[in-house]
A and B are shown apart, each in its own frame.
Chain A
Amino acid sequence: MAEAESKLVEGATGPWEVIIGIECHAQVASKSKLFSGAATEFGAEPNSQVSFVDAAMPGMLPVLNAYCVEMAVRTGLGLNAKINKRSVFARKNYFYPDLPQGYQISQFDLPIVGEGEVVLDMAEGITRTVGIERLHLEQDAGKSLHDQDPGLSFVDLNRSGVALMEIVSKPDMRSAEEAQAFLKKLRTIVRYLGTCDGNMEEGSMRGDINVSVRKPGGPLGTRCEIKNVNSFRFVGQAVEYEVGRQIDLIEDGGEVKQETRLFDARSGETRSMRSKEEAHDYRYFPDPDLLPLELADDFIETIRASLPELPDAKKARFVEQWGLKPYDAGVLAGDKASCYYFEKVAEGRDARIAANWVTGELFGALNKLNVEITESPVSADHLGELVDLISDNTISGRIAKDVFEIMVETGDAPGKIVEEKGLKQVTDTGAIEALVDEVIAQNPDKVEELKEKPKMASWFVGQVMKASQGKANPAAVNEILAKKLGL
């Protein structure tokens, strides 16, 4: 494995290196909010999941949700990060209509999780190691709705107080692809851990991307933070656009100003939201309503002991123990649902054959149907049964592909299909001998030709298979032909 080289971007004045850091907001998969008992279900009627605390009614106080703390620690452990046994909740003060308290309860100088590391697979044998700066817990804000009334804005507080984990990377990414890979890797990890559903469309995962450019080896450039990037595709678009904008700006003699920019998904462009001068002074200070959070060693160790096998470990096991190609292993380990499916198929079988079927036929079929693996018409049990039918010579690999197609269409078990359609492989040597004899008898000219051209043997194999309607065991056909033709 080698660390990836920076992919340079060619400008008019020569190559540029892109520096990217990401702040990812991942919603904790909890039933209730970070500091109140209100529900967190997505898509509920506006303002139907709001407690007095979430609405910041006078005299209301936050009470920390222990489950969210557990999920944050779990995520930290999954990111190979340091768990801070003492952390402090702080208030981040600013005014906005969807922020009822006038401050967000977050963590500032003492977050619950410290430094960690994530390794990205960029190509066969090439990785990118991205440092994790920190992970902290904080409340989400509500949502302002500006399109409900010509003169008024409405506020939906259902999200107000929902627990978020803000995961901050170090500025270790060097291209849009790496930025995308980082977010995908984070999503995989939190999904394995069950700490966030990773659903970007529902806003459960959102990224703010810090982008700057520099001459290779030169000092760091001024960065811009791009907000509102809520799909992997947009991450690519936003970074590409922003890199081009910054390079053009510098090469035209201008300079990049530190600012917050908003990604506009419609135009694919970023535009200025607020400059550094306009940046808020958040006046962070420890929230006096909450005591410092102290974690006991056994609390952390109990969580550590309950961690599932994570994608990197799974990939390594697939390669080392099961002999999978690193690429296939990476693809399978990189998605919790695919991995779960694959492991079910591979259990007690030849894992390489299982991997070929899952990454080949199955993924192809799912792509064509445009469905997730969790909605696959072919169950893992059925695919495993199909692999068994190949392994015990009940059907040939070629017939298996036909059977698979029927499985996709009907969802039936392969054994049932083979039985009903009479696709069982013929391994009865007597029956195959009869077919071989028939082919030889019908083609004396070809037998003559064979003597000159030994490659003709495959023509005979084909004829015999055809005569058997594909059901003859190819190995047996080869063996008998060789004997009869004296090859």
Chain B
Amino acid sequence: MSDLTQLDIAGARDALGKGDCSAEELTNAYLDAIHEADPLNAFITVLPGKAVEMAKESDARRKNGEAGPLEGMPLGIKDLFCTEGVKTTAASHILDGFTPAYESTVTRNLWDAGAVLLGKTNMDEFAMGSSNETSYYGPVRNPWRLEGDDNALVPGGSSGGSAAAVAANLCAGATGTDTGGSIRQPAALTGIVGMKPTYGRCSRWGTIAFASSLDQAGPMTRTVRDAAIMLGAMAGHDAKDSTSINTPVPDYEAALEGGVKGLTIGVPEEYRVDGMPKEIEDLWQRGVDLLVEQGAKVKTVSLKRTKYALPTYYIVAPAEASSNLARYDGVRYGLRVPGDDITSMYENTRAAGFGAEVKRRILIGTYVLSAGYYDAYYLKAQKIRTLIAQDFKDAFEDVDLILTPTAPEPAFGIGAKTDDPLSMYLNDVFTVPASLAGLPGISVPAGVSDKGLPLGLQLIGRAFDEETVLRGAYALERAAGFTGKPDAWWRS
């Protein structure tokens, strides 16, 4: 075979099954690709030795007829998942030198399914960001660039390293985590598929927490089919996570076929935000048209509290983060900057260890939970969150899926928004509502911008109805026929 990295997960599965290539060959092809893609800065840690070792073990299992559903599949793992014996950073200086003695449930499930760990992907620090520029390990560069322009663009975030790695064929697939859009938005900005399953579908155990009531792991892949295959391996009940749901994991790949005929697709009027670029509006309309052509019915739905979603999110998520990040205190692991006493040690460590965006969110979160402000901010936000979830519930009485753009604009230049956090936060305006409601959402590449950048459409489904989401996404993907790939400028 010429270039094994051209194979998606389904393709590699066939090739490995037929014996056209070995897991070791496949792994080495990706390791070479990663090596050549240094300018993208998609990985924080690459593990050539471990990857080849895992690949050899995979080949041995296959030889013994013990192939799992992801047997031999080389994956990138977002550096938010704790991996036993492998440095895990959350892209933060404060976790310097931290190597977990345990394996997150999601990655454990992936290895049990036969997958191979290529390395840990770059991300926004503690998953806080929409551009992958808050990483202590430097920004990730989007494999896509504007036509005729050599300036680097952001890949979106926070799972920007995973998105770039998948888009640039540096891995067969990657894990992401999504708190307010951190899988779906970078997927849209890099022309790949990214799925956030229902809250509770994948265990959070061993995944470094950002906002516990929102965090959810999911697959980032080249195709919808790959997302279905990968999600099937990642998902499942875990007694170690009290918020994980004990329901069987369906055969997601089997759910892909069937088309959208007979499904009703909702189009929420409130998502037509002021100043939405025409190319996004056109893309959305194109998505509607494509689904109608496939036999779906389309209906306008109202999600009345949409405009409150972003402010609600920026109270709830920082509040939880301010508490979740309190454990990074220099006492037990990670960075410690000495001080004269315990308080100055805390202050020095956290001042040096956290980046500006993380500090900003810790401050917001601490503020909204403070005595005298709790009722006005946190409690009110929780009430609105309940209403937002109710809006979706009401809408899903009438429709099976909701179609929206994933992000309000294509990839933007590195540094373009770093001084304007509010404009950065607006990038998640379409993804945050489903996060607050805990619903499954997927971003499917569906077109290109005027200047040739990929654009994504989002499908949102009912809680634990990932099957219908995948079925709709598969139909949309085929109808849209997005086949673009970035030219591999990073190799030269």
Which residues of A sit under 8 angstroms from B222, Cβ to Cβ? none
A100–B331 contact, CB under 8 A?
A: yes
Report yes or no: B240 in contact with A57, Cβ–Cβ below 8 A.
no
- CA separation between A73 and B414, bound complex, in Å? 57
Contact assessment for B378 and A285 in the assembled complex, using a CB-CB cutoff below 8 Å:
yes
Q: Interface code B47-89, partner A: CB below 8 Å = 1, 0 otherwise?
A: 0000000000000000000000000000000000110000010
Could you say which of B88, B208, B332 has the most chain A C-beta atoms within 10 Å of its C-beta? B332
Q: Check A59–B82 contact: CB distance below 8 A.
A: yes
Residues A288 and B320 in contact in the complex (CB < 8 Å), given A95-B326, A100-B332, A102-B329: yes
Q: Interface size class for chain A?
A: 20 to 34
Chain B contact residues: over half helix, strand or loop, or mixed? Answer: loop
Complex CA gap A284/B378 in Å reads 11
What separation, in Å, do the CA atoms of A101 and B322 have in the docked complex?
12
Distance in angstroms between the alpha carbons of A103 and B324 in the assembled complex: 9
In the bound assembly, the distance between CA atoms of A470 and B209 in angstroms comes to 82
Contact mask A84-101 → B, CB, 8 Å, 1/0? 000000010101010011
- Return the chain B residue nearest A281 by Cβ: B371
Where chain A touches its partner, the secondary structure class is loop
Which stretch in A5-13, A61-69, A341-349 binds the other chain?
A61-69
Known: A100-B332, A285-B319, A289-B243. A59 touches B326 (CB 8 A): no
- Given contacts A52-B101, A61-B205, are A93 and B82 in contact (CB under 8 A)? no
With A61-B204, A62-B242, A283-B366 as contacts: A100 and B102 at CB distance below 8 Å = no
Interface positions of B from 311 to 366, Cβ below 8 Å from A: 319-320, 322-323, 325-327, 329, 331-333, 342, 346, 366
Give chain B residues whose Cβ lies under 8 Å from the Cβ of A58: 82, 88, 90, 95, 98, 100, 208-209, 327
Residue of B nearest to A157 (CB): B332
- Hey, which chain A residues are within 8 Å of B346, CB to CB? 95
A61 CB to nearest B CB, Å: 5
Interface status of A291 (Cβ within 8 A of chain B):
yes
Q: Is the CB of A285 within 8 A of B90?
A: no
Interface readout for B86-112 with A: 1 if CB under 8 Å, 0 if not? 001010000100101110100000000
Known: A58-B208, A59-B206, A97-B342. A103 touches B323 (CB 8 A): yes
In the docked arrangement, what's the CA distance between A283 and B206, Å? 25
Interface string of A289-317 (1 = CB under 8 A from B): 11100000000000000000000000000
Cβ distance B242 to chain A, nearest Cβ, rounded Å: 5
Given contacts A58-B327, A59-B205, A281-B370, is CB(A290)–CB(B242) below 8 Å? yes
B271 at the binding interface (Cβ < 8 Å): no
Question: Looking across the interface, which residue of chain A has its beta carbon closest to that of B343?
Answer: A95
Interface positions of B from 201 to 226, Cβ below 8 Å from A: 204-209, 211-213
CA distance A283 to B364 in the complex (A): 13
A59 touches B104 (CB 8 A): yes
- Choose among B88, B241, B329, B332 the residue that contacts A61 (Cβ–Cβ < 8 A): B241
**A54 CB to nearest chain B CB (Å):** 11
Query: Is the beta-carbon distance between A102 and B209 smaller than 8 angstroms?
Result: no
Give chain A nearest CB distance to B362 CB in angstroms: 11
For residue B276, give the distance in angstroms from its CB to the closest CB of chain A: 32
Q: Is B369 an interface residue (CB 8 A)?
A: yes
Residues from chain A with a CB closer than 8 A to the CB of B95 are 58
Contact A285 B242 (CB under 8 A): no
Distance of A62 Cα from B243 Cα, bound (Å): 10
Interface string of A145-189 (1 = CB under 8 A from B): 000000001010000000000000000000000000000000000
Closest to A103 in B: B323
Distance in angstroms from B295 CB to nearest chain A CB is: 40
Is A56 close to B, CB under 8 A?
Answer: yes
Give complex CA distance A52, B327 in Å. Answer: 13
On chain B, the residues within 8 Å of A60 by CB distance are: 205-206
Contacts of A56 in B (CB 8 A): 327, 332
Enumerate chain A residues within 8 angstroms of B374, measured Cβ to Cβ.
283-285
Alpha-carbon gap, A55 to B329, bound state (A): 12
Provide the residues of chain A in CB contact with B90, threshold 8 Å: 58
CB distance from B115 to the nearest CB of A (A): 19
Residue in A59, A100, A285 whose CB lies within 8 Å of B323:
A285
Chain B neighbourhood of A100, CB < 8 A? 327, 331-332
Nearest residue (CB) in A for B333 is A57
Please measure, in the bound complex, the distance between the C-alpha atom of A103 and the C-alpha atom of B327, giving whole angstroms: 8
A63 touching B332, Cβ below 8 Å = no
Q: Is the CB of A101 within 8 A of B327?
A: yes
Given A63-B239, A91-B323, A281-B370, do A57 and B100 touch, yes or no (CB 8 Å)?
A: yes
**Contact flags (1/0) for A271-291 with B, using CB distance below 8 Å?**
000000000010111001111
Complex: chain B residue closest to A35, CB-CB: B242
Hey, which chain A residues are within 8 Å of B342, CB to CB?
97, 153
Residues of B within 8 A of A55 (CB): 332
Shortest Cβ distance from residue A284 to the other chain B in the assembled complex, whole angstroms: 8
Which residues of B sit under 8 angstroms from A285, Cβ to Cβ?
A: 319-320, 323, 369, 374, 378
Q: In the complex, what residues of B have CB within 8 A of residue A52's CB?
A: 101-102
Verify B242–A291 contact, CB threshold 8 A: yes
Bound CA span A101–B328, Å: 8
* Chain B neighbourhood of A289, CB < 8 A: 209, 212, 242-243
Q: What are the residues of chain B within 8 A of A281 when measuring CB–CB?
A: 370-371
CA distance A103 to B320 in the complex (A): 12
Closest to A279 in B: B371
- CB-based contact A102/B326 at 8 Å: yes
Asked if residues A283 and B369 are in contact (CB atoms below 8 Å), the reply is yes
Shortest distance between the CB of B359 and any CB in chain A (Å):
15
In the complex, are the beta carbons of B213 and A95 less than 8 A apart?
A: no
CA distance A20 to B295 in the complex (A): 75
Q: Could you say which of A97, A101, A288, A291 contacts B326, with CB atoms under 8 Å apart?
A: A101
A283 in contact with B323 given A62-B242, A291-B242 (CB within 8 Å): yes
17 A-B residue pairs with CB within 8 Å: A52-B101, A57-B82, A57-B332, A59-B206, A60-B205, A61-B240, A95-B346, A97-B342, A102-B325, A102-B326, A102-B327, A281-B370, A283-B369, A284-B374, A285-B320, A290-B243, A291-B242
Shortest 10 CB-CB contacts between residues of A and residues of B: A102-B326, A288-B213, A283-B369, A288-B212, A56-B327, A59-B206, A58-B208, A59-B82, A281-B371, A59-B208
In addition to A58-B95, A59-B204, A281-B371, 6 A-B residue pairs with Cβ atoms within 8 Å of each other are A57-B332, A59-B82, A59-B208, A63-B239, A285-B320, A288-B243
